[in-house]
Amino acid sequence: MVERVLAVIPSLNEEKFIEGPLRMLLAASRTLPMRIVIADGGSTDRTQEIVQDFAKQNPNLVFISYPKKRQGPATNETVKAYGDGIEYLIRIDAHANYPEDYCQRLVEEADSMKAASVVVAMHTMGITPFQKAVAAAQNSRLGNGGSAHRLVGQEGMWIDHGHHALMRIDAFRAVGGYDETFLLNEDAELDTRLGKAGYKIWLTGKTSLIYYPRGEPDKLFKQYRDYGKGRAHTIIKHRVWPKLRHLLPAAVLPAAVLGLFGPFYWLAYVPVYTWIAVCLGYGVVLAIKAGDVQIAMAGPAVLIMHSAWSIGFWSEVLRSFRERGK
């Protein structure tokens, strides 16, 4: 059968997670002609060994190494090497669980809606106590800002950005693929170029995924700092106005700086202490609703997410100004 789908899993030290998404793709490939590529950024755990064991039994599974340890470059390299003559690209995250019919539903939606890109809803789930708190935070409006791909219903909708799942390879190539200067937020930046080029993005309600968040506060902070940098990079590159859900977390660092003047004028404390109180109180509300006292840690998790995002955002804005001044 002629392959219709190119599926890629960018990986880096994913021995705990890689088998689930890989088995899903292999099962899907029995009825949906598919080339599966694991694009590894230099794993030092058992990831490569696990994939190569699967590849021995599955000729449609390919393992490649690439020098840049990020999803965007991994996907670009995969499309460059294996995308010729294939209609659809499906990007899979190792840190996620997928329903068995995930790929089939994506292709059906792309065919029926004539969309250049089909994106999906994402529900976050935790295993450890801190992960569960982070998941509760990310699933809430305070944590996700009301992102469409967190709230979609069964009917689906046309949107300007969502969690990447499927894309027509001709559209992906036409806009130049992922911008490899982005650490994170490369998906939103690519969606911006797709929209400017006249391509349409469909958020499906027919399938979704479960994502496992960072399990340690320092890794969560680094992730959201990079998210903030990426969003600022996108805004600056395309000269677009940030949305309200971006402006609110961006205000956290200025509020904290303003708080430094509190000893001289007490009202300077109000913005930052209001933010802290809202986040901690929201965590308590989520814990009461869930009937789990551990979920109260969602409040501190949101504090980490917002503060890291704001620091990353403003550091990228300042970097841009310095670059322009040279």
Q: What is the DSSP string of 160-226?
A: S--EEEEEEHHHHHHTTS--TT-SS-HHHHHHHHHHHTT--EEEEEEEEEEE---SSHHHHHHHHHH
> Which residue do the tokens 């001044």 mark?
325
Confidence of residue 30 (pLDDT cuts 50, 70, 90): very high
pLDDT at 148: 56
Comparing 19 with 12, the larger pLDDT belongs to: 19
Domain boundaries, the chain: 5-215, 222-325
Fold of 5-215: Spore Coat Polysaccharide Biosynthesis Protein SpsA; Chain A (3.90.550)
pLDDT of 235: 94
The torsion defined by the Cα of 19, 118, 39 and 72, in degrees rounded to 10, comes to -130
The first and second tokens of residue 262, run together, are: 């509190």
How many helices and strands (H and E) does the chain possess?
Answer: 14, 9
3-state secondary structure (DSSP) of residue 242 = coil
At 115 the pLDDT is 95
What's the N-to-C CA distance of the chain in angstroms? Answer: 55
Q: What's phi and psi for 228, nearest 5 deg? A: -60, -40
Q: Which residues pair with 292 in a beta bridge?
A: none
Instruction: Give the Cα separation of 281 and 271 in Å (integer).
Output: 15
* Backbone phi, psi, residue 117, to 5°: -145, 135
pTM: 0.87
Note the pLDDT of residue 150.
Answer: 54
Condensed to tens digits (0 to 9), the pLDDT of residues 32-89 reads 999 999 998 888 889 889 999 999 999 999 998 877 778 888 899 999 999 999 999 9
Tokens 């969560």 found at: 220
- CA distances (Å), 52 to each of 59, 96, 314, in order? 11, 20, 42
pLDDT at residue 326 greater than cutoff 80? no
pLDDT at 41: 85
pLDDT for position 43: 86
Report for 125-129, 181-185, 258-262: range of highest mean pLDDT: 258-262
Confidence of residue 146 (pLDDT cuts 50, 70, 90): low
Q: What is the mean pLDDT of residues 297-325?
A: 94
> Does the structure show a pLDDT above 60 at 312?
yes
Q: How much is the average pLDDT of 256-284?
A: 96
> How high is the pLDDT of residue 154?
63
